[in-house]
Amino acid sequence: MTDTSAKLTVGDKTIDLPVMAGTTGPDVVDIRKLYGQTGMFTYDPGFTSTASCESALTFIDGEEGVLLHRGYPIGQLAEHSSFMEVSYLLLNGELPDAETLANFETTITRHTMLHEQLMTFYRGFRRDAHPMAIMCGVVGALSAFYHDSTDIADPVQRKIASHRLIAKMPTIAAMAYKYSVGQPFMYPDNKLSYTGNFLKMTFGVPAEEYEVIPAVEKAMDRIFILHADHEQNASTSTVRLAGSSGANPFACIAAGIACLWGPAHGGANEAALNMLREIGTPDRIQHYIDRAKDKNDPFRLMGFGHRVYKNYDPRATVMQKTVREVFDALKVTDPVFETALRLEEIALSDPYFAEKKLFPNVDFYSGIILSAIGFPTTMFTALFALARTVGWVAQWNEMISDPGQKIGRPRQRYTGPTERDYVPVEKR
């Protein structure tokens, strides 16, 4: 904490509010005593200027386009690390040595199977159910199957629940896909890596051997790294808020999945590729740029803009590079990539996007890669949920481990009627 304070004057009364510093990034004004001292609340719909918690996991400098996990730049992690290593880092604070990493991978691998009875749960869904609808339901239902890891006061149970969630998400997501195409569910193959196993459970069939293509496995793993955590975004804040009441971890992550589904958040990857396909050819781009700028048209450029980044999203830089790598590895191409590159170029040279500091975000290029790998657009957000699960559980653990943790309970500016007397129906 710094020794500075902020002064707030309301009428003839001035109060001192402590200013607290983080290790980097903006200081925060501690307003916890504001109501007691002034009878007033702060007002910040959408939390544009509100730090809701203290966290040591992820740092973003939106002006500079910087993203650090436990201090390590996302570009370095995407280049040199693996999703399992980043998961360990987020959960434990430090990079593991080789033996610790191997043990962590074994632990996660040993939790990849789903309770067999959950198959029946899947069969209750329509075949055309959106994978995110299935994810919300199945992940929430895990609390009915794993009672031995729902005591949030027990750190060992919290750890087991966290490992279970990280390990079972690929199985849950792959089964959602298999169900939608009417193919048999594939059991996990513990000889494979986390990501290789996911690809096999998604694209393999029991009748044939499945060969994991190393370049695809690497690209997919990198996509998981890029989505692993993003400090207090909407779904993570949802997980924290749900967890603050003492709800069990499976229920909290199901809440996070529900929030992620929205097109302003994780649903944007699906919406972005649909938009690019609708635009089709570069000659049609200007029409969509004009629509995005028109205040009377609800259309927005999907995969563009961010609450925190007022610069290029560093994850989009890596994503764009990965598109080319995957095309080369699979010897495919997709005209939609040319459209995306041209759209970015036109948007970035347009004063509307420059003045509002709207740049491509993580969702702009990811769909092109996922589509080349073979995923239908409806699976894109489910893959985001799979990868973000580690961030959600790490943030949830951080919150529950904090001895000063309180239930999250925002206040409001009331604008409804003031007190009035009930009027019997015959007199209305």
Angle at 84 between CA 233 and CA 175, to 5 degrees: 80
362: contact with ligand CMC by CB under 6 A: yes
Of 233 and 397, nearer to ligand CMC (C-beta) is 233
227: contact with ligand CMC by CB under 6 A: no
Tell me the three state secondary structure of residue 120: helix
Q: Is 69 a catalytic residue?
A: no
The encoded tokens of residue 394 equal 């790490």
259: contact with ligand CMC by CB under 6 A: no
- Inter-residue contact 230 to 391 (CB < 8 Å): yes
238: contact with ligand CMC by CB under 6 A: no
Least distance (Å) from ligand CMC to the CB of residue 306?
A: 5
Q: Name the closest residue to ligand CMC (Cβ).
A: 305
301: contact with ligand CMC by CB under 6 A: yes
Distance CA 338, CA 106 (A): 41
Q: Is 306 a catalytic residue?
A: yes
**From the list 166, 358, 370, 385, which residue makes contact with ligand CMC (rule: CB under 6 A)?**
358
Which DSSP state fits 379? Answer: G
Least distance (Å) from ligand CMC to the CB of residue 425?
A: 43
Alpha carbons within 13 A on the beta-carbon side of 92: 15
Tell me the three state secondary structure of residue 9: strand
**From the list 59, 163, 306, 320, which residue makes contact with ligand CMC (rule: CB under 6 A)?**
306
Q: Residues 262-293, buried b or exposed e (16+ Cβ, 10 A)?
A: ebebbbbbbbbbebbeebeebeebeebbeebb
Tell me the three state secondary structure of residue 48: coil
Task: Give the binding range for ligand CMC (CB under 6 A) out of 37-45, 69-77, 217-225, 294-302.
Answer: 294-302
Task: Give the binding range for ligand CMC (CB under 6 A) out of 104-112, 122-130, 197-205, 301-309.
Answer: 301-309
Of 306, 313, 402, 421, the catalytic one is 306
Tell me the three state secondary structure of residue 177: helix
363: contact with ligand CMC by CB under 6 A: yes
Count of other CB atoms within 10 angstroms of residue 407:
9
265: contact with ligand CMC by CB under 6 A: yes
Instruction: Name residue 399's amino acid.
Output: M
Of 112 and 361, nearer to ligand CMC (C-beta) is 361
Distance CA 397, CA 156 (A): 11
Least distance (Å) from ligand CMC to the CB of residue 222?
A: 16
304: contact with ligand CMC by CB under 6 A: yes
Of 104 and 224, nearer to ligand CMC (C-beta) is 224
Distance CA 190, CA 192 (A): 5
Of 334 and 363, nearer to ligand CMC (C-beta) is 363
Distance CA 162, CA 399 (A): 13
Residues within the interface to ligand CMC (CB under 6 A): 46, 233, 264-266, 268, 292, 300-307, 356, 358, 361-363
Name the residues annotated as catalytic. 306, 363
